[in-house]
Amino acid sequence: MKLALIGDIGGTHVRFALWQEGRPDALRVLATSDYPGPEEAIRTYLAGLDLPLAALDTACLACAGPVQGDLFRLTNNHWQFGRLALTHALGLRQLLVINDFAAMALGMTRLADHERLTVRPGRAEAGSPRLVLGPGTGLGVSALLPDGAGHWRVLPGEGGHVDLPLVTAREVALWQLLQRELGHVSAESVLSGSGLLRLYRASCLLDGRTPQLDSAAAVSAAALAGDAGAAAVLEQFCGWLGRVAGNHALTLGARGGVYLAGGILPHFAAFLQGSSFARCFVDKGVMSDYLADIPVWLATAEQPGLLGAGLALQAWSERSSA
């Protein structure tokens, strides 16, 4: 029996699974740094399952970066590939390549109630767009648009690279330090794994403290353990995430709700729920009332990006055979 492969390729890890009976199966996680490109990683994945390359028929790869034309370059790692060349190298009948947060958005359409936490209560407006964003290796942003027939269309984008919004004097001071280091300071510059560490170091410099922590995980762990300096950094991170989410919700008209996803936030979910995220999300001057009823949820489901990749492949295959 010919098999369908699904992959969720981020900046740090790639997750592969087989799409069987409407769900991911045989999940494996590999480090992208261990392979020159997706072909070699896929061969390793299949070898680990004792499957020959010829077992594959179709595949969908959800990739972190803009999907345009045949050549794809990932934004936050060294991988690049041509869709047609990879299709031939793997002997596939069909290869679909989509944005990773387009897949994440599709995954949100299958969330069960127990797979999400409420970050900000509200009332989802039926028939309105929904926003999906979240920090991981980068900051992914996508949208779900209702099609009027009970289904959702995905609107991918690169909203993680918008300018970082500045409201308070401290945010301006932090931005000045970040701008000296980076030039352009995008939302992703702060709202990502490397960004949290960057924010911590800039905060230490601004406050005259010597940095003691060397990873995003260490910063969040110290914050949760009661370290006042790390907690202030994590609070700033959550507030900035709220501002960026609110900006995108205004632009999109996301009265149907906002999903927060990605690999970072579940590690400090309770902190996020008690942070200034909700206040900063709605703090938009004359448009604050527009955002007042929009609910925000944190997705806690396992591998929603892979699920979304499978759903995209399934829908694409159905259209191709129609």
End-to-end CA distance of the chain: 21
Residue 8, annotated ligand binder? Answer: yes
Which pair of tokens denotes residue 191?
């709202």
For 150, the 3-state DSSP assignment is coil
Q: Annotation-wise, does 9 bind a ligand?
A: yes
10 among the known binding-site residues?
yes
Q: Are the CB atoms for 261 and 299 separated by under 8 Å?
A: yes
**Range list of H helices, the chain:** 38-48, 83-90, 100-108, 169-182, 187-190, 193-207, 216-224, 228-252, 269-274, 277-282, 288-291, 304-321
**What are the backbone dihedrals phi and psi of residue 266, each rounded to the nearest 5 degrees, phi first?**
-60, -20
**Residue 79 vs residues 64, 89, 96, 195, 288: alpha-carbon distances, Å:** 10, 16, 17, 21, 42
Is 208 known to sit in a ligand binding site?
no
Instruction: Label residues 115-131 b or e (16+ Cβ within 10 Å = b).
Output: bbbebbebeebeebbbb
Cβ-contact 143, 154 below 8 angstroms: yes
| Spatial separation of the C-alpha atoms in residues 231 and 224, rounded to whole Å | 7
**Residue 7 labelled as part of a binding site:** yes
Annotated binding residue at 214? Answer: no
Identify which of 276, 240, 241, 233 has the alpha carbon closest to the alpha carbon of residue 258: 241
Burial state string for 201-214 with b = 16 or more CB within 10 A and e = fewer than 16:
bbbbeeeeeeeebe
What residues form the annotated binding site for ATP?
A: 7-12
Point out the annotated binding site: 7-12
